[in-house]
Amino acid sequence: MSGPVAARVYVTYFVVLRRLRESEGTSVLIADLVGFTPLAERLPPEELVGLLDRTFARFDEVVARHDAEKVKTIGDAYLVVAGVPDPCEDHVAVLADVALALMAETAALARETGFRLELRAGIHTGPVLAGVIGTTKPAYDVWGDTVNTAARMESHGEPGRVQVTAAVVARLVGRFECIPRGTIDVKGKGALETWWLGERLGAPPT
C-alpha cells in the first residue's frame, strides 16, 4: 500500500476503510509479464525473485510519478487504479500514460538483463467497489465488473501491447492514438470491440 492508503489503514481503519466505497470515476490497469513462467523453470529461485522485485520496483516508480495507485501484485501480474482512493478527473489518461511507461520500463529491463521480457496489459474504466478488508493483515483492494473486464483485456491481448475497451477510447480521442483491433470473443463478455493503445498525441498536461 502507498503512503496515503497506509495512513488511512492505521489512522481511520475502523471508521472509514471498513466501509466499502463504490466509485464511478475509476479506471483499472492490469499488466502481466509474458515469458516469466519459462524463466521460472530455468532460473535459481533467488535470481528469479530478485528479477521480479527489480521489475516491480521499477513499476512502482512509474506509478508514483503519476496520479495512480498500485493495488497489488499477483504472481507476475500488476494491478493499478486511478480515481480511487483519491478522486482523479482524468483517470483514463493517467492509466494510459502509466501503461505506456510500464511497457517502456519492461523493454529497458529486457535489454539490461538479456532476458526475454514482455508486458501484456489491458485497461477498462467504470465503477468499482473499493475498500480495506481483513483484520490480521488488512489490505486495500478493488472489485467489480470493471476489474474483471480489465483482466479480460489483458488476458485476451498480445505481448508488447495495451488492449483497451470502447469506454476507454471514448475518453482518449484526440489525445492518444487508438488503433482498432476489431471484435473479439471475450470469455464471460461475448463479442467486444477493442483497440490497441498507441502513443500519446502531444505532450501530457503539466
Range of the domain at 17: 3-160
Residue 185 lies in a domain: no
pLDDT, one tens digit per residue, over 29-46 is 999 999 888 888 889 999
pLDDT at 10: 42
pLDDT, one tens digit per residue, over 60-113 is 999 999 989 999 999 899 999 999 998 899 999 999 999 999 999 999 999 999
pLDDT at 3: 57
pLDDT at 187: 87
Residue 58 lies in a domain: yes
> What's the pTM value of the predicted model, to 2 decimals?
0.88
Rounded alpha-carbon distances, angstroms, from residue 6 to 37, 83, 116, 180: 31, 17, 35, 39
Residue 173 lies in a domain: no
- Quick check: 66 and 27 in contact, CB under 8 A? no
Residue 199 lies in a domain: no
Residue 45 lies in a domain: yes
Residue 169 lies in a domain: no
pLDDT, one tens digit per residue, over 5-20 is 554 444 434 334 444 5
Residue 27's nearest CA partner among 121, 129, 147 is 147
Residue 189 lies in a domain: no
pLDDT, one tens digit per residue, over 50-62 is 999 999 999 999 9
Residue 193 lies in a domain: no
**How many domains does the structure of the chain reveal?**
1
* CATH number of the structural domain spanning residue 45: 3.30.70.1230
Q: What is the mean pLDDT of residues 118-136?
A: 92
